[in-house]
Amino acid sequence: MPGFRKRSIRRWNPPQHSFSNMEIPYTISARPDTGLWNAKLGIWLFLASEVMLFGGLFSGYVFLRLGSAPGYWPHGLLNVPVGSMNTAILILSSVTVVMAWASLKMRQFTRYQIYMAITIICGIIFLAVKLAYEWPQKFVHFGAYIKPAVAEKYEDYLGNKHLIEKGLEPRYEITGHLHEIEINRADADPAELDTLIKARGLEVVKTEDEGKVLTLKVHSPSDAVALRDVLGVISNPDEPNPAKRTRKAHGVKIEAFELALDEINANPTSPENERPRFIPRSLSEKTATIHMEDIDGDGQAWSSFEPRHSSYFAVYFTITGLHGLHVLAGVLVFCYYMLPVSTRLYRQNPEHLANRVEVAGLFWHFVDLVWIFVFPIFYLL
Amino acid sequence: MATPTTSTHAHGEHGHDHGDHHHELGFWQKYVFSTDHKVIGIQYGVTGLIFLFFGFCLMMLMRFQLAYPGEELHFLGLGRLLAYFFPTEMPKGIMTPDFYNSLGAMHGTIMVFLGIVPVAFAAFGNYVVPLQIGAPDMTFPKINMASYQAFFVGGVTMLISFFVPGGAAKSGWTSYSPLANVADHPGADVIDPATNLVVSHVHMIFNGQTLWILGMVFLITSSLLGSVNFITTIIQLRAPGMTWMRLPFFVWAQLVTSVLLLLAFPPLEAASVMQLMDRVAGTSFFLPTGLYVGGHLWGNSGGGSPLLWQHLFWFLAHPEVYVLILPGIGIIAEVVANNTRKPLWGYKAMVMAILVLGFLSFIVWAHHMYLTGMGAKVSAFFQTTTIIISIPSVILLTALMISLWGGSIRFTVPMLFATAFMPEFGIGGLTGIPLAFNAVDLYLHDTYYIIAHFHYIVAPGTIFAIFAGVYYWYPKATGRMMNDTLGRIHFFFSIIFINGIFMPMFIQGMMGMHRRWYDGGLSYPVTSGRVVLGYSGTEWNHVISWSAWLLGVAQLPFIFNFFWSIRHGKKASINPWDSTTLEWTAPSPPPHGNFDHPPTVYRGPYEYSVPGASSDFTPQAQSDAGIPEKEHPPLEPATA
Amino acid sequence: MDSSHDPHPATQDGAHDHHDVSKHVKGYLLVGALLLVFTGLTVFLSYVNFGSSKANIIVAMIVATIKASMVAAIFMHLNSEKWTIYRFLLLTVFFVIGLFVLSLLAFHDPIRY
């Protein structure tokens, strides 16, 4: 055993010279008693923690769905054909990634490159469909929850009498594409309001009440949100604290929404629109008007299909978003394994590259596994 | 035979960087971006100790408010200094209730996630575990570095949160919804309490509670990366002959701790993401329908469940408290065996106990939620598992205590802390047993009894174990001993004052004094009126606060000793404590790669006072114990 | 037993040696095709009325579990993995189930007075 190396300690130097050739063992060959090489154990441990992560998210889903009142858990809001196609693409990429690894083990490098490229392309298509089609679609779709007490007013669009007769869950949401909104400009700053209308290209269809009430054509629910957020100065001369006598608050009041209805609200009593089955949200020709005083949550329960619209969308965006981040990470790692630095590694030590690809492939399969559960839970049930 | 292939193979087998063997590393590569487990261990240790000290200072501020409610903090003009930097939180040097809550929440978060886990688990684990198992480094050195960096970023995020409009997180380290969702919500006004005017706006992302969540995400990532590394290293890189039952108990403790971190943290990460979405994206994962805040209906969709947050949080947080104590028990086991000059009593029982403890810790979490309206069935389940989990805890403590029997005890400074650990941890653990019962917890929940219970485990428990570990392994890391006299002064004053802080809290708790109260119990006649042992509940606050400040002063010898001994401490031999475990066979400090060739292990970890041996300790890597051949033939290394 | 003198020790996973991997390739392609078939099956079954929505959920989850098992066993080589990995995965499965079951138990068993 080497003795204690005397050296004058002028400043503390962390040890940097190895007087041994100590490499880290079992990075490529397996340790005999466990039968594993390091990264294989490492990735499985990491995947175990990922199981707990998505397990926690799914337990949240279960809690929220079980805790929702009857009629408040939506169904059929997601596009099943597109979702099925995405599922198929991800499954295909799973096959190609294991084929890529197998090609490396069989020392067929060109085949490996082809399979890896296909895997990457599939991953990118999956993300593109999600980010360029599925998600943006949600932000232009509109939904409003009606107060249960006044639901009878909208019976033509909800069909609750029929549903209750059949022993099914009631409906309280009216969805579709927002066409026009009626606003009362009240205390809103007129200059700001006009700038907003021009900037968003909104058309004033009707004016009433000496220009106080406007009906505007809108393109998406975000226009309605922007209008609602126009500030105005509200003054209260009776307020004791002088600093609070005038304050800024929402100056625009939305009075009503006019929307083109989805099929489910156009024909609410049709057997096509009954559970349990997948119901597509396709647009009908019918339009309807919803008044603000009938909207639930003190008039706040309306929005596009964004995360805050309902618990369903909250958990949908969170889980698919997190899943999407994992897909992106996987794609980036695979791209790294196509770069020249990896080709060089193949020439020096093909088994090492095969192991790295196997580890990345295991991660990719796990991502596919999660999607296998996400797809039926959100798209079909 | 498990012989790792090493120096006979130049390339092809190993994924080690060839660059840093034979040339000088620059400053950044040596000190900041190092992948050497020892450097990373020291980085964790120093950063963690600084955070521990910072969390301690937060507590000292809180204790002023509790002892002298509503008064200006006049100590050395500290009140005016704080009033300058935090005008809304400490106007004129008087603490506002909001600031008190911030200090409380951040004290807990910083001590747990930025103090104890990085020091007890990551620092000692990173430094000592590879050495004790005879490995050259961790299995994934780059991931090790990444885990430290994630920890650092998380810590900085938490610190920044003090300086943003609205202040740091205020909803407890437990961050319960709905308060955590609506407190300082993005868009809210920050109002100066003195003038009642709006002074600034709480920002969308850069507000204290949101930064808390972001910081937690970084810290959780750091822990996950670290635990993967630890588990893989302990399973894969044990030296030849290092069978499972020859592992030093410290390594077993780190293994179980890593598994707890690996599997328990992710649900909290999921919950943190959900709470982040609630704050920033307007979702209502944890907000119920019809929530009214300040007289207005909170405009989220509703349909969420505050209980869901509690389940996901405590699913982590219960195993987390075992994460806080187990490395400490591991350190104490090493120190006790070494300073009693005999093997640990009941090593096998301790190993079984720690494995069972780790397993059970996952199914006891709802004992933190007895007051959430649980029915009889589910609370009966959790009461049962909680009582059962006390058994392995007691086994561990008992084995440590029996290890003292018949020993030739040397009261070195580490041993002082180790012997103090045992009864203190005993008090902490035993006071937890009444809390396991739903009926008792109904009264004691959220009182100072709880605070006393868990602080006895982490403060005179884990922190004393950390001190023991620092004094014990300092000579290995630096090649010098810490000053013995300063160490004894540090110990004696710490043990006195730490009990002065936490013992009266049991009394306050049983009187009914509630935790997280800004006024120290004044407004509650039960605690301000009733007198126990000559003091009312609020008068006990004086005893506790002064003990806390004096405890702070008692740390000064340690801080001085720690830095002074780097250059001026007595030079240490390679094995100053005459210990048997492998780390004491490497040079002090060990070079990159630790050992010049992998050690072979021939015996168990605590072969002290082996009958007939030539010395009172026989190192693990020594094949011959100096015992005459006809009595004991030389041992062969066992198959792994 | 002593592998230190073997300059290129084969990986201990005998099943994944050069020749053996080629035997598995057909399996991978077959499983891939099966997965696509099962995906179609899931969609089809969601249209069938099994009585209650609970029944539909159970059917969908059974199909998903079958698909997931195929991916895990064949693509992720779990059918021939080492016991260390199995131990950790079993622990994980146990704890995930514990998380679900115990939180649901708490949800379904509130205090009644």
Q: What is the 3-state secondary structure (H, E, C) of B361-393?
A: HHHCHHHHCHHHCECHHHHHHHHHHHHHHHHHH
Q: Does C5 touch chain A (CB under 8 A)?
A: no
Nearest partner of A356 among A123, A92, A28, A107, judged by Cα: A28
CB contact under 8 A, B267 and C9: no
Instruction: Determine which helix (DSSP H) or strand (DSSP E) holds A354, and give its type and residue range.
Output: helix A350-374
In a shared domain, residues A119 and A150: no
Write out the two tokens for B248: 């030093």
Q: Is residue A27 part of a domain?
A: no
Residues of chain C contacting A373 with CB distance shorter than 8 Å: 64, 68
In a shared domain, residues A93 and A239: no
User: Are the C-beta atoms of B476 and B470 separated by less than 8 Å?
Assistant: no
- CA dist., res. A251 & res. B165, Å (int): 26
| Per-residue model confidence (pLDDT) at position C19 | 55
In a shared domain, residues A78 and A215: no
Nearest partner of C61 among C90, C100, C31, C87, judged by Cα: C100
Instruction: Determine which helix (DSSP H) or strand (DSSP E) holds B422, and give its type and residue range.
Output: helix B413-430
Write out the two tokens for A215: 């009906």
| Per-residue model confidence (pLDDT) at position A276 | 53
- CA dist., res. B105 & res. B216, Å (int): 13
**Average pLDDT of the segment spanning B111-116:** 96
Per-residue pLDDT at B32 exceeds 60: yes
The answer to which of A60-64, B165-169, B414-418 has the lowest mean pLDDT is B165-169
**How far does the CA of residue B292 sit from the closest CA of chain A (Å)?**
11
CB contact under 8 A, A376 and C42: yes
In a shared domain, residues C90 and C70: no
**How far does the CA of residue B479 sit from the closest CA of chain C (Å)?**
34
**Average pLDDT of the segment spanning B248-257:** 97
In a shared domain, residues A136 and A147: no
Per-residue pLDDT at B29 exceeds 60: yes
| Per-residue model confidence (pLDDT) at position A14 | 41
pLDDT tens-digit readout, B308-354: 999 999 999 999 999 999 999 999 999 999 999 999 999 999 999 99
**Average pLDDT of the segment spanning B160-184:** 89
CA max distance for chain B: 90
| Per-residue model confidence (pLDDT) at position B429 | 95
Q: Is residue A48 part of a domain?
A: no
pLDDT tens-digit readout, B260-315: 999 999 999 999 999 999 988 888 899 988 888 877 788 777 888 899 999 999 99
Q: For chain C, first and last CA: distance in Å?
A: 69
If you measure CA to CA, which chain C residue comes closest to A369?
C68
| Per-residue model confidence (pLDDT) at position B34 | 87
**Average pLDDT of the segment spanning B484-499:** 97
pLDDT tens-digit readout, A184-231: 887 777 888 888 888 888 888 888 877 788 888 888 898 888 888 887
CB contact under 8 A, B375 and C95: no
Q: What percent of chain B has pLDDT over 70?
A: 93
DSSP string, A206-243: EEETTTTEEEEE-SSHHHHHHHHT-EEEEE-TT-SSGG
User: Are the C-beta atoms of B466 and B331 separated by less than 8 Å?
Assistant: yes
In a shared domain, residues C32 and C42: yes
Residue B635 is given by DSSP the state P
Q: For chain A, first and last CA: distance in Å?
A: 67
Q: What percent of chain C has pLDDT over 90?
A: 45
**Average pLDDT of the segment spanning A356-372:** 95
Q: Is residue A24 part of a domain?
A: no
The answer to which of A214-218, A240-244, B607-611 has the lowest mean pLDDT is A240-244
In a shared domain, residues C94 and C111: yes
Residues of chain B contacting C8 with CB distance shorter than 8 Å: 12
Highest mean pLDDT among B29-43, B546-560, B582-596: B546-560
In a shared domain, residues C21 and C72: yes
CA B407 to chain centre: 30
**Residues within 8 A of B (CB atoms), C 69-108 only:** 84, 88, 91-92, 95, 98-99, 102-103, 105-107
CA B240 to chain centre: 32
In a shared domain, residues A152 and A258: yes
Q: Is residue C1 part of a domain?
A: no
In a shared domain, residues C62 and C91: no
CA angle B443, B446, B452 (to 5 degrees): 100
Per-residue pLDDT at A75 exceeds 90: no
CA angle B297, B298, B303 (to 5 degrees): 105
pLDDT tens-digit readout, A290-347: 998 898 888 888 888 988 888 999 999 999 999 999 999 999 999 999 999 888 999 9
Q: Is residue C10 part of a domain?
A: no
* Signed CA dihedral, B356, B240, B478, B31: sign only: negative
| Per-residue model confidence (pLDDT) at position A21 | 47
| Per-residue model confidence (pLDDT) at position B200 | 74
CB contact under 8 A, C110 and B374: yes
**How far does the CA of residue A70 sit from the closest CA of chain C (Å)?**
13
Domain that residue C22 falls in: 16-80
CB contact under 8 A, B315 and A55: no
Fill in the amino acid letter for B476.
K
In a shared domain, residues A194 and A329: no
Per-residue pLDDT at C103 exceeds 60: yes
Highest mean pLDDT among B3-7, B32-36, B562-566: B562-566
Provide the 10 A C-beta neighbour count for residue B155: 24
This model of the complex carries an ipTM of 0.89
- CA dist., res. B520 & res. B451, Å (int): 14
Q: How many CB pairs (< 8 A) connect A and C? A: 147
Peptide bond preceding A237 in cis form (omega within 30 of 0): no
Torsional class of A167: left (φ above 0), alpha (ψ -120 to 50), beta (otherwise): left
Per-residue pLDDT at B54 exceeds 70: yes
Nearest partner of B583 among B494, B430, B460, B472, judged by Cα: B472
Q: What percent of chain C has pLDDT over 70?
A: 83
- CA dist., res. A53 & res. B264, Å (int): 9
Q: Is residue C2 part of a domain?
A: no
Q: Is residue A183 part of a domain?
A: yes
Helices (H), B161-207: 179-182
User: Are the C-beta atoms of B419 and B404 separated by less than 8 Å?
Assistant: yes
The mean of the pLDDT values for chain B is 89
In a shared domain, residues A286 and A328: no
- CA dist., res. A85 & res. B493, Å (int): 70
In a shared domain, residues A191 and A103: no
Q: Using CB atoms, which chains have 3+ pairs under 8 A with A?
A: B, C
Per-residue pLDDT at B23 exceeds 60: no
- CA dist., res. B168 & res. C2, Å (int): 59
| Per-residue model confidence (pLDDT) at position C15 | 39
Q: Is residue C9 part of a domain?
A: no
pLDDT tens-digit readout, A80-110: 889 999 999 999 999 999 999 999 999 999 9
Confidence category of residue A46, pLDDT binned at 50, 70, 90: very high
| Per-residue model confidence (pLDDT) at position A52 | 95
Q: Which of A254, A275, A304 is the last residue of a domain?
A: A304
Nearest partner of B173 among B294, B88, B305, B59, judged by Cα: B59
Per-residue pLDDT at B6 exceeds 50: no
| Per-residue model confidence (pLDDT) at position A280 | 66
Q: What is the dihedral of CA B445, B448, B450, B452, to 10 degrees?
A: -170
Half-sphere exposure of residue A59: CA atoms within 13 angstroms, side-chain side? 32
User: Are the C-beta atoms of A317 and A64 separated by less than 8 Å?
Assistant: no
Q: Is residue A373 part of a domain?
A: yes
Per-residue pLDDT at C1 exceeds 70: no
Provide the 10 A C-beta neighbour count for residue A85: 15
In a shared domain, residues C28 and C73: yes
Fill in the amino acid letter for B47.
T
The mean of the pLDDT values for chain A is 85
Residues of chain A contacting C76 with CB distance shorter than 8 Å: 362, 365-366
Per-residue pLDDT at A243 exceeds 70: no
CB contact under 8 A, B311 and C7: no
Q: Using CB atoms, which chains have 3+ pairs under 8 A with C?
A: A, B
Confidence category of residue C81, pLDDT binned at 50, 70, 90: confident
- CA dist., res. B29 & res. A220, Å (int): 53
Nearest partner of B38 among A25, A38, A5, A13, judged by Cα: A13
pLDDT tens-digit readout, B373-430: 889 999 999 999 999 999 999 999 999 999 999 999 999 999 999 999 999 999 999 9
CB contact under 8 A, B305 and A64: yes
Per-residue pLDDT at B18 exceeds 50: no
Residues of chain C contacting A107 with CB distance shorter than 8 Å: 18
Distant-in-sequence, close-in-space partners of B551: CB < 8 Å, separation ≥ 6? B493, B494, B497, B498, B500, B501
User: Are the C-beta atoms of B557 and B486 separated by less than 8 Å?
Assistant: yes
DSSP string, A53-92: HHHHHHHHHHHHHHHSPTT-S--S-S-HHHHHHHHHHHHH
Write out the two tokens for A132: 């360029």
Per-residue pLDDT at A27 exceeds 70: yes
In a shared domain, residues C26 and C63: yes
| Per-residue model confidence (pLDDT) at position B115 | 96
Q: Does A99 touch chain C (CB under 8 A)?
A: yes
Q: Which residues of B439-476 are buried (b: 16+ CB within 10 A; e: fewer)?
A: eebeebbebbbbbbbbbbbbbbbbbbbbbbbbbbbbbb
Q: What is the dihedral of CA B294, B299, B303, B307, to 10 degrees?
A: -40
Residue B633 is given by DSSP the state P
The answer to which of A253-257, B524-528, C34-38 has the lowest mean pLDDT is B524-528
In a shared domain, residues C76 and C105: no
Q: Which residue do the tokens 């959220």 mark?
A: B446
Fill in the amino acid letter for B529.
G
Q: Is residue C11 part of a domain?
A: no
- CA dist., res. B79 & res. B68, Å (int): 13
User: Are the C-beta atoms of B301 and A314 separated by less than 8 Å?
Assistant: yes
The answer to which of A18-32, B88-102, B589-603 has the lowest mean pLDDT is A18-32
Per-residue pLDDT at A17 exceeds 60: no
Domain that residue A88 falls in: 59-140+314-380
Q: Is residue C92 part of a domain?
A: yes
In a shared domain, residues A194 and A280: yes
**Average pLDDT of the segment spanning A255-282:** 79
Q: Is residue A275 part of a domain?
A: yes
Question: Could you give the number of structural domains in chain A?
Answer: 2
In a shared domain, residues C46 and C86: no
| Per-residue model confidence (pLDDT) at position C8 | 40
CA angle B308, B313, B319 (to 5 degrees): 135
| Per-residue model confidence (pLDDT) at position A277 | 58
Q: Which of A304, A328, A353 is the last residue of a domain?
A: A304
What CATH number has the domain bearing residue A78? 1.20.120.80
- CA dist., res. B190 & res. B202, Å (int): 7
Residue A379 is given by DSSP the state I
User: Are the C-beta atoms of B478 and B588 separated by less than 8 Å?
Assistant: yes
| Per-residue model confidence (pLDDT) at position A18 | 40
| Per-residue model confidence (pLDDT) at position B196 | 66
In a shared domain, residues C74 and C98: no
Q: Which of A304, A333, A355 is the last residue of a domain?
A: A304
pLDDT tens-digit readout, C28-68: 999 999 999 999 999 888 888 777 778 888 999 999 999 99
Peptide bond preceding A276 in cis form (omega within 30 of 0): yes
The angle that helices A340-348 and A350-374 make with each other, rounded to 10 degrees, is 130
| Per-residue model confidence (pLDDT) at position C17 | 53
In a shared domain, residues C26 and C61: yes
**How far does the CA of residue C21 sit from the closest CA of chain B (Å)?**
21
Question: Could you give the number of structural domains in chain C?
Answer: 2
**How far does the CA of residue A89 sit from the closest CA of chain C (Å)?**
9
Q: Is residue C67 part of a domain?
A: yes
CA max distance for chain A: 98
Task: Tell me if residue B302 falls in helix, strand or coil.
Answer: coil
Per-residue pLDDT at B10 exceeds 60: no
Q: Chain A interface, mutation test: which of C23, C46, C103, most A Cβ atoms within 10 Å?
A: C46
In a shared domain, residues A228 and A354: no
Confidence category of residue B592, pLDDT binned at 50, 70, 90: confident
Residues of chain B contacting A354 with CB distance shorter than 8 Å: none
Q: Chain C interface, mutation test: which of B11, B263, B379, most C Cβ atoms within 10 Å?
A: B263
If you measure CA to CA, which chain B residue comes closest to A30?
B236
Per-residue pLDDT at B640 exceeds 90: no
In a shared domain, residues A134 and A226: no
Provide the 10 A C-beta neighbour count for residue A348: 10
In a shared domain, residues C61 and C101: no
> What phi, psi does A53 have (nearest 5°)?
-65, -55
Residue B377 has its nearest CB partner, among C1, C7, C109, at C109
Residue A292 is given by DSSP the state G
* Signed CA dihedral, B481, B483, B489, B493: sign only: negative
CB contact under 8 A, B597 and A46: no
pLDDT tens-digit readout, A154-195: 888 888 888 888 888 888 989 999 989 898 887 777 888 888
In a shared domain, residues A284 and A323: no
| Per-residue model confidence (pLDDT) at position A279 | 63
Nearest partner of B172 among B73, B242, B101, B119, judged by Cα: B101
Provide the 10 A C-beta neighbour count for residue B322: 22
